[in-house]
Amino acid sequence: MDNDPIWQSASANQLDLARVVVERTVMARVYHNALYLNEDGDVYRDQLFHGHINKLAKVVTSNHRDLRISKVYHYECPWSWAQAELTVISAYKTPRDKLQCVFCCATTIMNLFSMASERGIPAADDLTPVLVYRLIRRRCIDCSICRQLLRESIGGRRTILVDAVLRRDRVKTMD
């Protein structure tokens, strides 16, 4: 685009928008093949993971001992605004858009925390359990983004609950 004469008169903003459109168009076409390289195996693994998330969603509440959500933030529960941000994650195809969706969810949670907290700005240790809880409550059918987010939990802090999700065989013991 930088060398194409058609784009020479375009502004920086127009070039950025064009790049986003190209990225989204390409991802829309290759999404299934890129995410499901092993085809049925990947689909089956996502379905299995989705089943485990559904089991967790039935037993996990904001008071769950393994989440360790601070009592101060329970007044903002069930964080429905943050949940609303995640409802559209499956519609996005590009990693940037999916991460932007999760970022909006995290920002919403942090804003709710700021209203509830007397000590000022909440920390990542406050955000992580609620973000994990919201992802579990979301019950994504396409779990690949959730699996990655749980695996790369913020700040390297892993709760027993996240480890249970990652080791699917331990989920049964959490009931």
- Look at the alpha carbons of 160, 165, 168, 173 in this order and tell me if their dihedral is positive or negative: positive
Nearest Cα to 81, choosing from 121, 116, 110?
Answer: 110
pLDDT of res. 154: 39
Separation between Cα atoms, residue 109 and residue 138, nearest integer Å: 15
- pLDDT of 141 > 60? The answer is no
142-174: pLDDT as tens digits: 555 555 544 544 344 444 444 444 444 334 444
Q: pTM for this structure?
A: 0.61
